[in-house]
A and B are shown apart, each in its own frame.
Chain A
């Protein structure tokens, strides 16, 4: 099961209302390489992992991604909470506003809703862990694009933290893949 911790994983700062930046960052909430996709991918792949370390890694990184989803949501929430309808229109967020007001919803930067086909759960640990490593690289790229787009150094600080975590996750998945290969080789011997 899961319990909730009444705190964010990382302290966020938002300098000013910025619906344009919110519209871009929301892709890490509900986009193809976003935190919801990451979390659900790992948490559903873990059941068919063959070795205990892989079950632990997928459970723990899947859980950390939920915390990242919350950090991204907190950024978006604070970037738009004081925005006027005029500011929302000027930022191109009016399409989103028509359906959701300022509520958080799982969409990419262009407004397309989250779909389960963003992720796969293959039952083959080698295939799944390769997908996970690729997912971490794609998330890292997205954070780099967002950092380039960001005109708020305080928001950029949180984006840098999230980017760095993708690098660490990639490393841990690579080690997990090696452990799975070792396990497969050891099975061949006996």
Chain B
């Protein structure tokens, strides 16, 4: 697997943990351990995304990420064009 896919995979792992904790917290908003886990994952996810974006361009649109030098948002590949075949 290439470097880009490895980094994407790490982002997917972290964001999946965030999604799952988010849904749990929606029905358990007073669970402080889950909240601490969520915040820790969110911080690491932000770091992973910033590193990825510095190499491959914005992962978020509409002002949520900056694009260095040129407007890299339009660059391929789009998500459905990236498979993780072994």
**Do A11 and B84 have beta carbons less than 8 Å apart?**
yes
Report the nearest A residue to B56, measured CB to CB: A6
**Do A57 and B23 have beta carbons less than 8 Å apart?**
yes
Contacts of B64 in A (CB 8 A): 3
Binds B, one of A71-79, A82-90, A94-102: A71-79
**Do A74 and B85 have beta carbons less than 8 Å apart?**
no
* A4 touching B61 in the complex, CB below 8 Å, given contacts A10-B16, A60-B23, A168-B20: yes
**Do B16 and A53 have beta carbons less than 8 Å apart?**
no
Report the nearest A residue to B75, measured CB to CB: A6
**Do A53 and B26 have beta carbons less than 8 Å apart?**
yes
Bound CA span A21–B61, Å: 33
Bound CA span A73–B78, Å: 13
A166-182: which have CB < 8 Å to B?
A: 168-169, 172, 175-176, 179
Contacts of B28 in A (CB 8 A): 175
B46 in contact (CB, < 8 A): no
* A8 touching B80 in the complex, CB below 8 Å, given contacts A53-B29, A154-B85, A179-B27: yes
Binds B, one of A12-20, A32-40, A114-122, A132-140: A12-20
**Do A3 and B80 have beta carbons less than 8 Å apart?**
no
Bound CA span A72–B15, Å: 19
Report the nearest A residue to B28, measured CB to CB: A175
Is the interface on chain A under 10, 10 to 19, 20 to 34, or 35 or more residues? 20 to 34
Instruction: Tell me the count of chain B residues lying within 8 A, CB to CB, of chain A.
Output: 31
**Do B9 and A168 have beta carbons less than 8 Å apart?**
no
* A13 touching B85 in the complex, CB below 8 Å, given contacts A4-B60, A53-B29: yes
A5 in contact (CB, < 8 A): yes
- Checking B23, B73, B80 against A78 with a beta-carbon cut-off of 8 angstroms, the contacting residue is B80
A25 in contact (CB, < 8 A): no
Bound CA span A73–B8, Å: 19
A34-54: which have CB < 8 Å to B?
A: 53
Select the residue from A3, A176, A179 with max chain B CB neighbours within 10 A.
Answer: A3
0/1 interface trace, chain A 147-190, chain B, CB 8 Å (1 if under) = 00000001000000000000011001001100100000000000
- In the complex, given contacts A3-B60, A13-B84, A15-B85, what are 13 additional A-B residue pairs having Cβ atoms less than 8 angstroms apart? A1-B62, A5-B60, A6-B61, A6-B78, A7-B12, A9-B16, A11-B8, A11-B12, A11-B83, A60-B23, A78-B83, A154-B85, A172-B23
17 contacts between A and B (CB under 8 A): A3-B64, A5-B59, A5-B60, A6-B58, A6-B73, A6-B79, A9-B15, A12-B83, A13-B84, A15-B85, A57-B23, A57-B27, A60-B19, A64-B19, A78-B80, A169-B23, A172-B27
